[in-house]
Amino acid sequence: MFNKVLIANRGEIALRVIRACRELGVKTVAVYSEADRYSLHVRFADEAVCIGPPQSKESYLSVPRLIAAAEVTNADAIHPGYGFLSENASFAEICGTSGLTFIGPKPESIMSMGDKALAKDTMRKAGVPVIPGSDGVVFDFNEAKRIAGEIGYPVIIKATAGGGGRGMRIVREAAEFENAFRTASHEAEKAFSNPSVYIEKYLERPRHIEIQIMGDRHGNVVHFGERDCTIQRRHQKLVEESPSPAITQEIREAMGAAAVKGAKSVHYQGAGTIEFLLDKDKSFYFMEMNTRIQVEHPVTEEVVGIDLLKLQIEVAAGERLKKMKVKPEWHAMECRINAEDPMHDFRPSPGKIVSFHMPGGFGVRVDTHAYAGYEIPPYYDSLVAKLIVKAKTRDEVVDKMYHTLDEFIVEGIHTTIPFHKKLMKNEQFRSGDFDTKFVEQFNFKD
């Protein structure tokens, strides 16, 4: 096992890693920007190093500063969390050459899955079903238009370097294609410094279902079942749950097997997620792979009863995974409590939290770095807390989530709590029959 892990992240995930390390008897080093001086990860880690000013570029994204912090504190491994440098192959490589274990996959795996078009191609070759579309990126407009015509409209143009719900454009008819193609590629260049785009069939009203996997250093890959992340706004997840109300045990096993096959084809090590879209006819298609631990991992932890963070650290230290067969016995759901104002188009609402009361009780879990008096800085993501509840059935979970949200008091800033409360009372949501367009049409302001 490692002696000391440096956490190259902040917020709730930094706390989550600290807790896992404590249980494993591993010492921790927190890094923080000047804006995070009063953050809990700084207080709870065994050591803390200030790595620069608030701007991420000069702190949490500064590779030289992170490596220097690891060297002065004598850390032997780095946990990247999610976001920031977690899917940066060159960071993973520099960790390796600096004698630090990167708690995540090999740089080659990050690279092959980081480019979305290449990832799709890799999965297709491994025999995983992918959404019909171009073979990789397309540069030429005429070629692109021909492919779109062949696939049939609507199509979606995606930036190969895209992520976080950005860099996608839906085209409904041939007449709009030229404009959309040029804009998409121009935007991709601006946002990701890479203009390359690829084309795929736009599925009408699919569900987003993903499989949690883990690979060890000995070639074993296991999966832990699915998370249904269909409740999204602008391609950003708001609620995640498991098991999915839309699939059977048979589909779960087929998806799980496809995910494991895909991960094995890139010799995947560490925690990862294979994202699929489930079409109305219940066919599923690979969409992308996230080569890190995800925000919504607690949903799976609650359903299968395994601490994924500890397991991720253990496999990074060389431990072998045991075979497992997943049959969910619990139902779990997570609501993302963001510092955003749902009544005003979810606009960011940073600032000081004046009062803060967390819910509790059987089957209730809150992963958060917030407290009364904590000031949410405007520089980073808006996640304040993850509220996860579990019960034996989906109906019980939805009811419990409603009551739990009612007990969650956050004053001083706006949060997404009122949105979630309305959602838990919505009949269609409760029925389990909805798709990725649901939030767009959901009138929660009445």
Tell me the two tokens of residue 166: 């950005």
Does 157 contact ligand ADP by CB under 6 A?
A: no
Does 275 contact ligand ADP by CB under 6 A?
A: yes
Query: With respect to ligand ADP, which residue has the nearer C-beta, 117 or 311?
Result: 117
Query: With respect to ligand ADP, which residue has the nearer C-beta, 39 or 185?
Result: 185
Q: Using CB under 6 A, pick the residue from 288, 296, 302, 367 that binds ligand ADP.
A: 288
Give yes or no for a contact between 371 and 306, defined as CB atoms under 8 angstroms apart: no
d(CA 430, CA 426): 6
Which amino acid belongs to residue 102?
Answer: F
List strands edge to edge, sheet with 331-338: 284-290, 270-278, 207-215, 221-233, 236-242, 331-338, 383-391, 364-368
Query: With respect to ligand ADP, which residue has the nearer C-beta, 42 or 131?
Result: 131
Does 163 contact ligand ADP by CB under 6 A?
A: yes
Query: With respect to ligand ADP, which residue has the nearer C-beta, 165 or 360?
Result: 165
First to last CA, the chain: 54
Q: Using CB under 6 A, pick the residue from 100, 203, 209, 239 that binds ligand ADP.
A: 203
Query: With respect to ligand ADP, which residue has the nearer C-beta, 59 or 230?
Result: 230
Query: With respect to ligand ADP, which residue has the nearer C-beta, 201 or 421?
Result: 201
Q: Which helix (H) or strand (E) holds 188?
A: helix 174-192
- Restricted to residues 120-139, the positions that interact with ligand ADP (CB under 6 A) are 131
Query: With respect to ligand ADP, which residue has the nearer C-beta, 110 or 311?
Result: 110
d(CA 215, CA 221): 4
Give yes or no for a contact between 133 and 188, defined as CB atoms under 8 angstroms apart: no
Does 83 contact ligand ADP by CB under 6 A?
A: no
C-beta atoms surrounding 26 within 10 Å = 23
Q: Using CB under 6 A, pick the residue from 114, 162, 215, 342 that binds ligand ADP.
A: 162
In 3-state terms, what secondary structure has residue 116?
A: helix
Which amino acid belongs to residue 143?
Answer: E
Which of 16, 169, 207, 292 is catalytic? The answer is 292
Least CB distance to ligand ADP at residue 230 (A): 8
C-beta atoms surrounding 191 within 10 Å = 15
Does 235 contact ligand ADP by CB under 6 A?
A: yes
Q: Extract the runs of DSSP E, i.e. beta strands, from 164-280.
A: 166-171, 197-201, 207-215, 221-233, 236-242, 270-278
In 3-state terms, what secondary structure has residue 47?
A: strand
Instruction: Look at residues 128, 109, 325 and name the one whose alpha carbon lies nearest to residue 224.
Output: 325
Q: Which stretches within 54-88 are classed as H helix?
A: 63-73
Q: Using CB under 6 A, pick the residue from 119, 137, 156, 184 that binds ligand ADP.
A: 156
Q: Using CB under 6 A, pick the residue from 107, 206, 328, 359 that binds ligand ADP.
A: 206
Does 434 contact ligand ADP by CB under 6 A?
A: no
Does 241 contact ligand ADP by CB under 6 A?
A: no
Instruction: Look at residues 279, 295, 299 and name the one whose alpha carbon lies nearest to residue 287.
Output: 279
- Restricted to residues 364-403, the positions that interact with ligand ADP (CB under 6 A) are none
Does the annotation mark 16 as catalytic?
no
Q: Using CB under 6 A, pick the residue from 32, 202, 268, 434 that binds ligand ADP.
A: 202
Least CB distance to ligand ADP at residue 67 (A): 27
Active-site residue list: 292
Residues that bind ligand ADP (CB under 6 A): 131, 156, 162-166, 200-203, 206, 208, 232, 235, 275, 277, 287-288, 436
